[in-house]
Chain A
Amino acid sequence: MGSRVTRRRALRVLGASLGGSAFAYAVAPVAAFVQATNKEEFLQQHYRELTEAGLADVLRRLEAETARDYGADVSIRDPRPLPDVQFGYALNLSVCIGCRKCAEACHHENNHDRRTNNSYIRVLEMTQGTMDMEQGRADYDHAVPAPGKYYMPVQCQQCENPPCVDVCPVQATWKEDDGVVVVDYNWCIGCRYCEAACPYHARRFNWHKPEIPADEINPDQAYLSNRVRPQGVVEKCHFCLHRTREGRLPACLEACPTGARVFGNLLDPESEIRWVLANKRVFVLKEELGTNPRFFYFFDT
């Protein structure tokens, strides 16, 4: 009896130590993940809680990380919303030819992953005579504009009532004072609830660490916009706020060869965007959802 108990105990100790080492072996790859992160990053506060000095430290750290991980010398700024400015965007579907130059420009401007050819803009080739997206497709690869087709680029609609912002459990995404919905890539936990909530397929997830050659990285970066994103977080169109908050036009608009895109300040009654809203028959996508987009479409009249 006694020897039986001892043997049992020995077996249990052996089992426990075997199990323990097997567990350690199984989760060993985690070490690489822990090594890739650091204390400052782990403990970093939410963007809106950072002090000016704290933010400056974060920006320098992120620049150093980009230099370390990508070999690129970049400058990361934090342009704030301009006073009395609310951005709006309109797109002329009569003029768009579906060349995807906007999507391509977005890809380069915003330091997207090269492997997936990611872009915040998706151009749908639609069939004339219907607005039914089910008749559309995004993977066309022939000369454009094709007969009988029209083209509808879709990107973040910067909704007045954004469902993606409501659902975020940690307030990692919010609407800025100029109407741009942004993401704090260092606060997002990667649950992708926002991706499920967005009715416009505007959000993208970093399924792996973005791959970009050093010489192709756009060094003109901002914290809330086009800095290289970490693995495992969600990103989205931000109306190129690193450009537009300095008065410049967004990259997709500059790339548009036909001038289908109109961008400007909705609060300025003399702006081009206001002229379009007042003089064209504009509509928004999925109006019935009550998201109230700031991105308008129109046909020439």
Chain B
Amino acid sequence: MHRRAVHRRSATYPPVQLTLVVLAASASACQAASAEYFADTDQPRADDASGAALHDTTIELPASLRGVPTGERAPTGAPVVVACGTCHNGEPGALPAQASEVAGPHTGLVVQHGGNTCGSCHDPNRRDRLRLADGQQLELTEAMQLCSQCHGTQRRDYDHGAHGGMAGHWDLARGPRTRNHCIHCHDPHVPAYPRVLPAAPPRDRFFGAGAGHE
């Protein structure tokens, strides 16, 4: 059992790469983070992968990375989006200087993301694409790469299961796992986690009225 556990982890590391092919293909902060991990903990990869079939870890892709949500839903329940390429089909030209200049379906866009401007993330030449700091172009679906170039510690924690929601199995030998994408929780334009109303407070006997402190 123990041996199997070791194989499981080494075979999937970093878990993201198995399923997000695009990520695996790129030399990026992600791999830098995982290399660092192996150096940190001094855990060699076990190479005698003797076959415990491991299930996948899948990162859920938010609909907004595939286009602009229309507010409608397909019969399957999936949100209907207008693909980016419908409007942005390779048109060149400068990006708007600030969010208030954005027109069309994106009107009303607010940006509160440090000192970033549109060009910090969007490719000025292909508006349906992103651009890394080193100039490399990126599909929208690869957005996590882009986030990670600044938010390295969060990405490190994410890769080690210590940041970001997940569901499924803790033991990948027994079943798959799905994980949230960065932008499930952090709107790239306003990344601060939104305040929410909590679920109902405890209602156990005599707690509540007059209870608590102060």
Asked if the two chains touch in their complex, CB atoms less than 8 Å apart, one says: yes
The reply on B20 being an interface residue by CB < 8 A is no
Q: How large is the interface on A (under 10, 10 to 19, 20 to 34, 35 or more residues)?
A: 35 or more
Q: Is the CB of B163 within 8 A of A259?
A: yes
* Most chain B CB inside 10 Å of its own CB: which residue of A136, A244, A259, A278: A259
Chain B 1-25 against A: per-residue CB contact (8 Å), 1 yes, 0 no?
1100110111001000000000000
Report yes or no: A258 in contact with B200, Cβ–Cβ below 8 A. Answer: no
A258, B198: Cβ atoms closer than 8 Å: no
Q: Per-position contact with A for B170-182: 1 when CB-CB < 8 Å, else 0? A: 1101110100100
Count chain B residues whose beta carbon lies closer than 8 angstroms to a beta carbon of A: 50
B1 touches A83 (CB 8 A): yes
Determine whether B104 belongs to the interface, using a CB cutoff of 8 Å to chain A.
no
CB contacts (< 8 Å) of A247 on chain B: these are 169-171, 173-175
| Residues 108-147 (chain A) with a chain B CB within 8 angstroms | 116-119, 122-123, 134-145
Q: How far is the CB of B204 from chain A (nearest CB, A)?
A: 5
Q: Is the CB of B208 within 8 A of A275?
A: no
- Complex CA distance for A140 and B199, rounded to whole angstroms: 10
Known: A139-B207, A258-B193, A280-B162. A144 touches B5 (CB 8 A): no
Contact between chains at B198 and A99 (CB < 8 Å): yes
Contacts of A123 in B (CB 8 A): 198
Known pairs A116-B205, A275-B41; A258 contacts B165 (CB<8 A): yes
B116 close to chain A: CB less than 8 A: no
User: In the complex the two chains form, what is the Cα distance from A101 to B185 in whole Å?
Assistant: 15
The answer to whether A272 has its CB under 8 Å from any CB of chain B is yes
- Given known A139-B211, A275-B162, contact A116–B204 (CB-CB < 8 A): yes
Interface check A211, CB cutoff 8 A? no
User: Smallest CB-CB separation from A278: which chain B residue?
Assistant: B41
Q: Indicate whether A269 reaches chain B with its CB closer than 8 angstroms.
A: yes
Q: What residues of A have a CB within 8 angstroms of the CB of B1 in the complex? A: 82-85
CB nearest to B153 among chain A residues: A300
**A289–B17 Cα gap in the complex (Å)?**
43
Q: CB-defined interface of A236-280 with B at 8 Å, one 1/0 digit per residue?
A: 000000001011110001101111001111011111100110111
Closest residue of chain B to A147 (Cβ to Cβ) is B195
Q: How far is the CA of A138 from the CA of B198 in the complex (A)?
A: 12
User: When chains A and B are docked, how far (Å) is the Cα of A248 from the Cα of B6?
Assistant: 18
On chain A, the residues within 8 Å of B211 by CB distance are 139
> Chain B interface mostly helix, strand, loop or mixed?
loop
| B152 to A: closest C-beta gap in Å | 13
Could you tell me the distance between the alpha carbons of A26 and B212 in the complex, rounded to whole angstroms? 39
* A101 to B196 CA separation, bound complex (whole angstroms): 11
Q: Verify if A207 is at the interface (C-beta below 8 Å from B).
A: yes
**Most chain A C-beta atoms within 10 Å of own C-beta, residue among B5, B40, B168, B175:** B5
Q: Mark the stretch among A2-10, A65-73, A90-98, A188-196 that contacts chain B.
A: A90-98
* A259-B197 in contact (CB<8A): no
Kindly state whether residue A222 has any CB partner on chain B within 8 Å.
no
A293 to B200, CA, bound (A): 28
User: Which residue from B5, B175, B203 sits with its C-beta under 8 Å from A270?
Assistant: B5
If A116-B205, A247-B169 touch, does A272 touch B162 (CB 8 Å cutoff)? yes
Query: Are B204's CB and A143's CB within 8 A?
Result: no
- Contact call A265/B170, Cβ cutoff below 8 A: yes
- Contacts A247-B170, A249-B166 given: A139-B43 contact, CB under 8 Å? no
**Cα–Cα distance between A172 and B152 once the two chains are bound (Å):** 48
Known A139-B202, A270-B6, A270-B43; judge A258-B185 contact (CB<8 A): yes
Give A256 to B166 CA distance when docked, in angstroms. Answer: 8
Give 18 CB contacts A-B under 8 Å: A92-B162, A97-B195, A116-B204, A116-B205, A118-B204, A138-B212, A141-B200, A141-B201, A244-B170, A247-B173, A247-B175, A248-B169, A248-B175, A249-B168, A258-B185, A259-B166, A265-B171, A268-B5
Q: Which 4 A-B pairs have the closest CB atoms?
A: A247-B174, A270-B9, A272-B161, A247-B171
Give 9 A-B pairs besides A99-B198, A263-B170 with Cβ atoms closer than 8 angstroms: A84-B5, A97-B196, A100-B198, A137-B212, A138-B207, A144-B198, A249-B177, A267-B5, A270-B13
Chain B: residues with CB nearer than 8 A to chain A?
1-2, 5-6, 8-10, 13, 37, 40-41, 43, 153, 157-158, 160-171, 173-175, 177, 180, 185, 193, 195-205, 207-208, 211-213
Residues on A facing B (Cβ under 8 Å): 82-85, 90, 92, 95, 97-101, 103-104, 116-119, 122-123, 134-145, 204, 207, 244, 246-249, 253-254, 256-259, 262-265, 267-272, 275-276, 278-280, 300-301
